[in-house]
Structure 1
């Protein structure tokens, strides 16, 4: 196992430790400089990072989480999905500045998540004809002014999917941030567009395989869209 794979496994495992959360996980990784060292030196965390108690150290001592993370990494490698850990060069640098940035992301596609110009285009799921037309004309005009812009949205009904489709129609790269794992596409009606995006953009998520698109996941997803 390479050092990079080890960091990926421990980063994935850290997201599953109960009672830590996004902010806590980020704080641990920043404090120890790697997820690997968070687990390796778990008994010393309270000495190295102010405010970390023994309960957290005890929660990290869970071999089943590591086994589950190894299984996840196997799926990612089999399906050629990138596993972007917190300090990975390809991890979105703007997102890293957010207090609740995820410590690991999963990405399938070919977009540069650190593109110089990134636009988030989101809106109602009940888009009007005017709204969908605006997506088309806005991105058409933007292509002429800024041909290298990366368009980010959430693959949802309404404005989101129209933003993705208009970006593709105008030759712009576009990335969909998902509220579930990369073993599915939701809504399924958008599967063809999602597949097209893999060739010019991609799909990004913080969620593990098997995660369903539950309501609270969309709130979590939205912070990534904004943080990009």
Structure 2
């Protein structure tokens, strides 16, 4: 019986998630909300006469009863805001939904959750990066989250499935349907190794206004959001901004200045809204999962100078600041910088903030 009250609390007309949480704080349980009188209800912040009458009118309970039939038939998990299995990272966000609908096997409180987002017009570059991410992250016991949309989203899900990584799709509609329909086969596999998650009750259409709401769950449920490819406007940038507002890490892959679907990534990096990652293997190091272990390639370009080979050997031990590297190599800084630039162009090292350098 308590489940129907939980569902009903999320379905009261004119009551958003903030007011629903005020009601819950005041009355402790959803059931107590619906058994309160008008006077008691109107003492809650955000609840006026009309809202109190909506609660007392029982329409929300009737709607919840209809939802319950679908939930029981398809074994949908209902995750209420105060439940232990509600995503704890998301609960810490002020605009977290009071209730979620979930089909799947993945632990939504997994120790390591990464969101991967990007354009619906993924290029071969973006698809390659999704594959790279899945291959690099597979040994680290992660859960990968995305939005099951065209482009980068579905690519992230499919590459995760290929690597045996559990992956969750956050939907902008009810669990009774799939949008886009072509992603149905992937969604079925995800239910078995990952899941499908939504705040929208069954029979909800994928309306345009639902997608920004969906994006806040993608950002809020994760430790870090990775933007693979993004144009100057779009859902990926919204998700990145939301992740920043939740004080979560955001990283982006850079692209050429002429690439339309890297404009958003380059903008995020340029405005310090995202950290730059040049390769997926940067992530475990940046996220503190392991100490960075540099490896000097066995086959170096034949045209490297003796100084450049020496630089690589020094950096193999550990990353180093420019001043310390200058002392180790024994060259004037102006000349050393030319060699460092050559090695960076060759893709053998990376310059870090604070004039630090490390091997790729």
Same fold flag (TM > 0.5): yes
Matches within 5 A, 1:146-225: 146=140, 148-225=141-218
* Structure 2 portions without partners, runs of 5+: 222-360
Runs of 4+ aligned residues of structure 1 deviating over 6 Å after TM superposition are none
* Aligned-partner SS, 1:84: strand
RMSD of aligned C-alpha atoms? 1.4
The 8 Å contact of residues 11 and 63 in structure 2, kept in 1 or not, is answered as: no
| Counterpart-to-counterpart distance in 2, 1:126 and 1:80 | 34
Change (3 A) 1:42 1:219: farther
- Is the 1:121–1:163 contact (alpha carbons within 8 Å) kept by the matching residues of 2? yes
Q: Aligned match of 2:53 in 42, 52, 58?
A: 58
Q: How does 1:10-159 map to 2 (within 5 A)?
A: 10-43=5-38, 44-47=40-43, 49-50=44-45, 52-144=47-139, 146=140, 148-159=141-152
* Residue 50 (structure 1) shift: 4.3
Matches of 2:155 and 2:34, distance apart in 1: 43
Q: Distance in 2 between matches of 1:121 and 1:37?
A: 40
Q: Give aligned pairs, total.
A: 220
3-state secondary structure, aligned to 2:102: strand
In the alignment, the residues of structure 2 paired with residue 201 and residue 61 of structure 1 have an alpha-carbon distance, to the nearest angstrom, of: 39
Q: Which of the two has greater helix per residue?
A: 1
Change (3 A) 1:103 1:225: same
TM-score, normalising length: structure 1: 0.91
For 2:164 and 2:22, the matched residues in 1 are separated by 39
Asked if the contact 2:145/2:167 (under 8 Å) is kept, the reply is: yes
Distance 2:215 2:85 in 1: 20
Which is higher, the Rg of structure 1 or of structure 2?
Answer: 2
Q: Please give the alpha-carbon distance, in whole angstroms, between the structure 1 residues aligned to 2:5 and 2:22.
A: 15
Cα distance in structure 2, aligned partners of 1:224 and 1:34: 24
Instruction: Compute the TM-score of the two structures, normalised by the length of structure 2.
Output: 0.59
